[in-house]
Amino acid sequence: MVAENFGGHGEGIYCFEFNSSNGDLKLLHIQNQVNPSYLFVVNPEVESIKNPLKSALTFLAPSSILFTVNEVLASNNPTLHIYEINKNDHRLTLNQSQPIEGGCPCHISYFKNADGNNYVGVACYETGNVILYDINEDGNLSSCIISHEGKSQHPSRQNAAHAHCVSFDKVSNKLLIADLGIDQIRVYTIKKNNEIIKVTENQIIQIPAGSGPRHICFDSNYHYGFIVNELTGSVTFIKHSNDRYDLKGTFSLLEPSALHHDIGAAAIRVSANGAFIYTTIRSDNTIRLFTFDSGKESLHLIDSYQTGGITPRDFIIDPTGHWLLVAHQNSDAISIFEVNSYDGTLRLFKIIDNIKSPVCFSWLITKK
- Confidence band for 261, pLDDT divided at 50, 70 and 90: confident
CB 337 within 8 A of CB 324: yes
Higher pLDDT, 61 or 275: 275
Q: What is the per-residue pLDDT across 157-213, written as a single tens digit (0 to 9) for each?
A: 999 999 999 999 999 999 999 999 999 999 999 998 877 899 999 999 999 999 999
The percentage of the chain sitting over the pLDDT mark of 70, rounded to a whole number, equals: 90
Residue 6 has pLDDT above 70, yes or no: no
Q: What are the Cα distances from residue 86, in Å, to 60, 66, 118?
A: 10, 11, 22
pLDDT at 170: 94
Q: Which among 134, 133, 39 is positioned nearest to 85, based on CA atoms?
A: 39
CB 185 within 8 A of CB 169: no
Q: Does residue 207 sit within a domain?
A: no
pTM of the predicted protein model: 0.93
Contacting residues for 187 by C-beta, under 8 A, at least 6 apart: 174, 175, 176, 201, 202, 203, 204, 205, 245
Q: Does residue 275 sit within a domain?
A: no
Q: Which among 308, 137, 309, 164 is positioned nearest to 231, based on CA atoms?
A: 164
Q: Does residue 105 sit within a domain?
A: yes
Q: Does residue 311 sit within a domain?
A: no
Q: Does residue 45 sit within a domain?
A: yes
Instruction: Quote the CA–CA distance of 367 and 288 in Å, as a whole number.
Output: 32
Give the mean pLDDT of 128-152: 91
pLDDT at 69: 97
Q: What is the per-residue pLDDT across 317-332, written as a single tens digit (0 to 9) for each?
A: 999 999 999 999 999 9
If you count DSSP H runs as helices and E runs as strands, how many of each does the chain have, helices first? 0, 26
Instruction: Quote the CA–CA distance of 128 and 105 in Å, as a whole number.
Output: 10
For the chain, the domain total comes to: 1
- Confidence band for 1, pLDDT divided at 50, 70 and 90: very low
| Torsion angles phi and psi, residue 127, rounded to 5 | -100, -5
Q: Does residue 123 sit within a domain?
A: yes
Instruction: Quote the CA–CA distance of 160 and 157 in Å, as a whole number.
Output: 8
pLDDT at 215: 98
Q: Does residue 10 sit within a domain?
A: no
Give the mean pLDDT of 116-130: 96
Q: Does residue 95 sit within a domain?
A: yes
The whole domain housing 117 covers 33-147
Give the mean pLDDT of 76-81: 96
Strand ranges for 33-91 from DSSP E = 39-42, 64-69, 79-85
